Amino acid sequence: MEYKEFVTKVQDAILTPIITLLALAAFVLFIWGVVQMLASAEDQEKRRTGQQHMIWGIIGLVIIFGTNAIISLIRATVGG
């Protein structure tokens, strides 16, 4: 029983804030890409850079939320 409590405390105190910060960073990267793309409509290179930031932000969010969903599914299946 102590092991489950320890894992829960570690998840609540360390993992959840880290995952939240990573998701926030990916979202900020996406928004920065949108701003960069809209602000430099005439410069093709800056638009391409903005698009790349948007793509990497979306990829980061998909990875973070996908991993979270898989872990939740495994925990529900195993009973943890």
- The full set of domain ranges for the chain reads 44-75
Task: Specify the pLDDT at position 26.
Answer: 96
CA angle 45, 61, 58 (to 5 degrees): 25
* Average model confidence (pLDDT) across the chain: 89
Instruction: Provide the whole-model pTM.
Output: 0.79
The band of 78, judged by pLDDT with boundaries at 50, 70 and 90, is: confident
Residues 30, 37 contacting (CB under 8 angstroms): no
How many angstroms separate the CA atoms of 40 and 48, rounded? 10
